[in-house]
Chains A and B, each alone.
Chain A
Amino acid sequence: MTIVVSELRRRFGGVAALDGVELSVRSGEFVALLGASGSGKTTLLRALAGLEFPDAGRILIDGRDMASVPARARGIGFVFQNYALFRHMTVAGNIGFGLRIRPWRSRPSRAEIARRVEELLELVRLPGLGGRYPDQLSGGQRQRVALARALAIEPRVLLLDEPFGALDATVRRELRLWLRGLHDRLGLTSLFVTHDQDEALELADRVAVMRDGRVVQCDTPEALLARPADAGVAGFLGDAARLGCEVRGGMAWFAALPPVPAEGVAEGQAVAFLRPVDLLAEPGEGEARVAASRQDGRGVRLTVAVGESLLEAVPAPGWQPRRGEACRVRVLAARVFPA
Chain B
Amino acid sequence: MRRRDALPGLGLALGVTWLWLGLIVLVPLAALAIRPWELGLAGVWASVTEPRVLASLRLSFGAALVAALVDLPLGLLVAWVVVRYRFPGRRVLDAAIDLPFALPTAVAGLALTALYAPNGWLGAPLAALGVKVAFTPLGVAVALAFVGLPFIVRMVEPVLRDLGPEAEEAAATLGATRWQAWRLVVLPALGPALVAGVGLAFARAVGEYGSVIFIAGNRPMESEIAPLLIVARLEQYDYAGAAALGLALLLLSFALLLVFGAMQRRLRRGLP
Contacts and interface: CB of A to CB of B under 8 A. Distances in A.
Interface of A: 49-51, 70-78, 80, 82, 84-90, 97-98, 101-102, 133-135, 149-150, 152-153
Contacts of A102: 175
A95 to B, nearest CB: 10
A76 B173 contact: yes
A87 B271 contact: yes
A133 B169 contact: no
A72 B272 contact: no
B198 to A, nearest CB: 18
Contacts of B19: none
A190 B166 CA distance: 20
A101 B272 contact: no
B38 to A, nearest CB: 51
B271 A80 contact: no
27 contacts: A50-B173, A51-B169, A71-B169, A72-B172, A72-B173, A72-B174, A72-B177, A74-B173, A78-B169, A78-B173, A82-B166, A84-B167, A86-B170, A87-B189, A87-B271, A88-B191, A88-B269, A89-B188, A89-B270, A98-B174, A101-B175, A133-B270, A134-B270, A135-B271, A149-B170, A153-B174, A153-B175
A90 B189 CA distance: 13
A71 B172 contact: yes
Contacts of B138: none
Nearest to A76: B173
B272 A97 contact: no
A87 B270 contact: yes
Contact of A84 (B166, B175, B270, B272): B166
A72 B184 CA distance: 15
Contact of A72 (B167, B175, B189): B175
A70 B173 CA distance: 9
A152 B173 CA distance: 11
Interface string B170-204: 11111111001000110011010000000000000
